[in-house]
Amino acid sequence: MALVRDPPVEPQRRRGKAVAMQGKIADFSIPDIFQLVSSQGKSGSLAISGNDRVTIFLFSGGRIVDVQPDRRGSKSLLGTMLRDAGYLTDSELKRYLSAQGTGGKKIGEILVEKGKVSKEIIARYLALQVKECLFDVLMLREGEYRFEGFAVRPVPWGGEPIRPDVLLMEGMQFLDEYPRYRGIFPVGDFRVIRKRGERVDPYAFSEEERILWKALDFSEDPERVYRKACLTGFEGIKGLASLLQRGLIEVSAAERGDGVDPARRLRDEIIYRRRFDAIRMALWGVAAVAAAVWAFRGLLSTGASRTFTAWVDFF
Amino acid sequence: MLMTRRVPNRSRRSWARYALFLLFLFPLVPSRMAAANLFPGYPEDVRMHAVRVVEAAGPGKGEALEREVRDLRRAMFDHAILSINAVPDRVFDRAAREGWKRRSYDSLRAVARVAPLSVPLWSWLAREDAMRFRLDEFLSDVGGLTGALRQYGPGLLGYAAWVVLFASASACWFAAWASLNLLLRARPALTSDVARLFKGLPRAEIIATAVVLAAFAAPVACGVGIAAAAVFWIALSTAYLRRGELLIGGTAILLLFVVFLCGGFLEAIHPLSGKVREGGWLGGEGYYNRAGSDYADAGQGLLVGQQWERMARFARARSEMQGGNLQVAESLWTRLIEEGGDTADAYNNRGIVRVRLGKTEEGVADFEAAASLSPAGGRAQWNAYQLYLQEFRLEKAARIQPLAWYGIRSLVPFDYRAEEMTHGELVASPLRVGEIWRTLFTVREEWLREARGSTFHDLFFRPVPGEWTPAFLAAGLVWVALWKLLSRKVWMNSSCRSCGTPTLIVGSREATDICNACRAQVGKGIRGGEERERRGLSILLHRRYVRACTVLFPGAGALWAGKDLRTLLFGILLSLSAGLFTVSWSAGRMAGGLIGDMQADIWKAALGVVAVLWLFGVAWGWRSFETLQLNHNVAGERL
């Protein structure tokens, strides 16, 4: 049994770029890679691929300054997170994304420039994005990594660089405890609401619980509640478990159809309401025209005119 | 074979000569031939002079026309005729036919002296004066119009009918406007409540919308009368209205009851209209009464009472007097004097009859008696003065001359000029009808009876049976009151006036017709995400709905903005204009002559006012609603 893992392969040139190191996750674990980059104060990008997805972490002086999740259906994209948290509407997100395509700017930069979302909120959600992406890659058992060294300058609208070792601590806790907390809740999708008539003292809550309690008013979907509270899934479910144990919330399994993307459901609902309202307006318009004709016949038709001309007969 | 050239039997040139001859001949012949039909019933000399007046009228013929008018006046005096209302009609017809209608002002003003009781003439002159900014003439013509209305019975009744029809048309427009506005105001909350009934069904909002739309469209589709449908719609929307809006609905129902009574009033007086030009007692002044007034004609049994009977006998005596039946006339006047009451006019007229019969002394005595009974009445003074002159009682004549001259000049609307009347013209007293105004409008039980089968009932209240119409209207009012009270105890939907959000409420509607979010001025919502989007959409759809209502039914926006009483005033103004348009448009289309000409201008003006008020109502309602939304921070962001 090999207790000592193989060292990473030697740096080599590939496509004109200097590749610091690369290898397989099975050979060199992700926490080790992060610790190595952090302890050596490296700058560059760490691409981790697995499960057909590639996540790229950007380091500056050994600290994580940004992350680029895989764009294929990831919920950890910054725009999607802000939309789910209610800071953007679906249409606004589409508009800003199209602006991003023409200007080459990042979505966070555009939002700060437009004053749509404050710099502080962007920083909070960027940190959340880094956390979530790290937790995701920690769960990988197979895949590859590749680190490329180059100078990385932190973006001015981003937050403070994050120490990977701190995140790794939380990540390890997440790997250990998440299954236990998740087991408290129904299998599959579920819904969570505040229990009616319960009096609570928000000051008795922990910080996370308080934020989560407020966010419960936002949606019944736990994923959206986490987004609103700016918590990772692990932090969120931990907080919900605590509230559930105190008897402050009610949990129920999601009904069929609840699995639809909430944004899509909202979009469909808006389209339906608009169409319905347009049809209703058209029908009422026709009815109003009919009423106008009816009023004309009642007061200005030939028969009515004869009645209203009766006074002429006296002269 | 040699053929001779064919010669036509009659050359084309000879046809042309005949045609030219006929062209010159025809304009001369018909005027004389038609003279007999222009003024039927009048004595031959009066008719002849009247035809001459009509022929003399025209632009630039002032002097000739004045001369003919004076001649006609003398002929009229001989037969105690005070007014020939057909003269201005004939002059106007000729002007319209010959294309000088717009230049007929001077001619018509001149013939006012022989048709002082023609209400259409005075109205037409007053309108022309107003259009030409002639203030003095305008005031004088309004005075003439007032005087004619007091002394020309058909004119008074026609004016009463016009007022009633105008009020009825306005009330119907108001009811239609108010009921539609109130229903559209209540529609969102009503739909939400109906949707509650179908809670268990999928897409309950579609079913509820269909039900409410059907409730709106059913009366229209079934051809229900305006009044019946208006009451139904007001009753449907009662529970969702504020107090001010309920006042609008209640006013509409009360006005519809007035319309119902107006129908009875019109039914009561309508039979009299046919008597105007055909010898009925109401035509005793202004049109020649051929058949002689009969007591049975008096109001067709509808306008009964001592006052009406006396008026009928007075009209009959006037008719006999004008027809030359002096003996009969004298006995009729004597009977009226014996009955007592206001006998000044009867004395005056009997005096004229007696003078015509050669009883000069008795005539003078009658004039003196009339003057003593009514010193302000200039006719008796004038007649006495004329007789004193004829009898060479110059001292007496000189003594009363100032009074006689002043009195004869101040007889509105009769334009008597003493300096012209030097041939012993005696001035008869007309039938006075001004005093019956109050009697005419005294509410009577027979109005209610007549209203049940009136034209108004068929037109506006179908299919409600006539007997049940008052009960139907009363039930509408009771329903409004009761349902309003009940809605304070039952949970019902209320639609926020600012953002359209439906809320279940109980209790006072005024306190809750603005939702909490709008009161807190939180715009599209304090939270983001789905709720924000839904609220944004709700605001957008609500704004679109209110704007559409405002454009279709002016003032609706102001109603949503909470300006109930101002909207009520606006509705009244709009309805009055629309009512004026209705009454004038019909007359402008159907009546000819002076009335048709005037009404054509009036309906155009009324339509203009309606259009202006409509645009004002749209702009005002739009702006009021915008302001409401701005005040509640709803309209800050374009959605």
Q: Kindly report, residue by residue over B246-299, the tens digit of the pLDDT.
A: 999 999 999 999 999 888 888 877 766 666 666 565 666 777 665 554 544 544
**What is the domain-level CATH number for residue B347?**
1.25.40.10
pLDDT recorded at residue A283 = 92
Q: Which residues of A touch B223 (CB under 8 A)?
A: 294
Same domain membership, residue A17 and residue A139: yes
A183-226 confidence digits (pLDDT tens): 888 888 888 888 877 777 777 788 888 888 888 877 888 888 88
Q: How confident is the model at residue B21 (pLDDT cuts 50, 70, 90)?
A: low
Q: Is the dihedral of CA B261, B262, B263, B264 positive or negative?
A: positive
| 3-state secondary structure at position B623 | helix
Domain end (from B104, B123, B142):
B123
Q: What DSSP state is assigned to residue B281?
A: G
Classify residue B317: in a domain, yes or no: yes
Q: Which residue of A has its CA nearest to B540?
A: A274
Kindly tell me if the per-residue pLDDT of B321 is higher than 80. Answer: yes
Same domain membership, residue B324 and residue B427: yes
Same domain membership, residue A130 and residue A17: yes
Q: Which residue of B has its CA nearest to A303?
A: B459
> Do A285 and B273 count as a contact with CB atoms less than 8 A apart?
no
Our CA-based measurement puts residue A49 at a distance from the nearest CA of chain B, in whole angstroms, of 33
Same domain membership, residue B383 and residue B288: yes
Same domain membership, residue A152 and residue A92: yes
For residues B623-631, average pLDDT:
90
Domain end (from A220, A252, A284):
A252
Classify residue A6: in a domain, yes or no: no
pLDDT recorded at residue B30 = 45
pTM: 0.69
pLDDT recorded at residue A12 = 45
B44-64 confidence digits (pLDDT tens): 888 888 888 888 888 877 778
How far apart CA B520 and CA B258 sit, in angstroms, is 45
Could you write out the three-class secondary structure of B420-476? CCCCCCCCCCCCCCHHHHHHHCCCCHHHHHHHCCCHHHHHHHCCCCHHHHHHHHHHH
Number of domains in chain B: 3
Same domain membership, residue B422 and residue B567: no
| 3-state secondary structure at position B274 | coil
Same domain membership, residue A112 and residue A201: no
CA B377 to mean position of chain CA atoms? 31
Same domain membership, residue A161 and residue A17: yes
How far apart CA A111 and CA A93 sit, in angstroms, is 10
Q: How confident is the model at residue B568 (pLDDT cuts 50, 70, 90)?
A: very high
Q: HSE (CB half, 13 Å, CA atoms) of B224?
A: 21
Classify residue B434: in a domain, yes or no: yes
How far apart CA A76 and CA A14 sit, in angstroms, is 30
Classify residue B179: in a domain, yes or no: no
How far apart CA A226 and CA A230 sit, in angstroms, is 6
Give the pair of three-digit tokens for residue A196.
């009616």
Q: Which residues of B touch A288 (CB under 8 A)?
A: 180, 552-553
Nearest CB among A219, A298, A312 relative to B459 is that of A298
Q: Which residues of B touch A219 (CB under 8 A)?
A: 529-530
Classify residue A45: in a domain, yes or no: yes
State which H helix or E strand residue A180 sits in.
helix A164-184
How far apart CA B282 and CA A313 sit, in angstroms, is 12
Number of domains in chain A: 2
**Do the beta carbons of residue A46 and residue A173 sit within 8 Å?**
no
Higher pLDDT, B595 or B590: B595
Same domain membership, residue A237 and residue A122: no
Q: Which residues of B touch A228 (CB under 8 A)?
A: 529
Q: How confident is the model at residue B178 (pLDDT cuts 50, 70, 90)?
A: very high
Nearest CB among A276, A288, A310 relative to B266 is that of A310
Classify residue B379: in a domain, yes or no: yes
pLDDT recorded at residue B257 = 92
pLDDT recorded at residue B372 = 84
Same domain membership, residue A25 and residue A122: yes
B67-120 confidence digits (pLDDT tens): 888 888 888 888 888 888 888 888 888 888 888 888 888 888 888 888 888 888
B395-448 confidence digits (pLDDT tens): 888 888 888 888 877 777 777 777 777 667 788 888 777 666 667 777 777 777
Domain end (from B75, B100, B123):
B123
Q: Which residue of B has its CA nearest to A219?
A: B530
Our CA-based measurement puts residue A211 at a distance from the nearest CA of chain B, in whole angstroms, of 14
Same domain membership, residue A201 and residue A130: no
Kindly tell me if the per-residue pLDDT of B636 is higher than 60. Answer: no
Our CA-based measurement puts residue B350 at a distance from the nearest CA of chain A, in whole angstroms, of 28
pLDDT recorded at residue B575 = 94
> Chain A to chain B, count of Cβ pairs less than 8 Å apart?
149
Nearest CB among B176, B273, B585 relative to A314 is that of B273
Same domain membership, residue A199 and residue A160: no
Classify residue A152: in a domain, yes or no: yes
Residue pLDDT tens, chain A, 315 long: 333 334 444 444 444 455 568 888 888 888 888 888 888 888 888 999 888 888 999 988 888 888 888 877 667 888 888 888 888 877 788 888 887 766 677 888 888 888 888 888 888 898 898 888 888 888 888 888 988 888 887 777 777 888 888 888 888 888 888 888 888 888 888 888 888 777 777 777 888 888 888 888 778 888 888 888 888 888 888 889 988 888 888 888 876 655 566 667 777 888 888 999 999 999 999 998 888 888 888 888 877 888 887 777 777
Classify residue A2: in a domain, yes or no: no
pLDDT recorded at residue B280 = 61
> Do B586 and A224 count as a contact with CB atoms less than 8 A apart?
no
Same domain membership, residue B393 and residue B306: yes
Give the pair of three-digit tokens for residue B362.
């008795």
Q: HSE (CB half, 13 Å, CA atoms) of A172?
A: 10
pLDDT recorded at residue B221 = 87
B364-391 confidence digits (pLDDT tens): 888 888 888 876 567 888 888 888 888 7
Give the pair of three-digit tokens for residue B17.
């000569």
How far apart CA A311 and CA B398 sit, in angstroms, is 47
Our CA-based measurement puts residue B105 at a distance from the nearest CA of chain A, in whole angstroms, of 20
Classify residue B473: in a domain, yes or no: no
pLDDT mean across residues, chain B: 81
Mutation target among B118, B259, B278, B459 for the A interface, most CBs of A within 10 A: B459
Q: Which residue of A has its CA nearest to B594?
A: A315
| 3-state secondary structure at position A147 | strand
Classify residue B200: in a domain, yes or no: no
Q: Give the range of the structural domain holding residue A115, as residue numbers without chain letter.
A: 12-178
* B325 lies within 8 A of chain A by CB: no
* B552 lies within 8 A of chain A by CB: yes
Classify residue B465: in a domain, yes or no: no
Our CA-based measurement puts residue A252 at a distance from the nearest CA of chain B, in whole angstroms, of 21
Residue B43 contacts by C-beta under 8 Å, 6 or more apart in sequence?
B75, B79, B324
Domain end (from B392, B409, B440):
B440
Q: Give the range of the structural domain holding residue B82, as residue numbers without chain letter.
A: 29-123
> Do A312 and B217 count as a contact with CB atoms less than 8 A apart?
no
Q: Which residues of B touch A305 (CB under 8 A)?
A: 585-586, 589-590
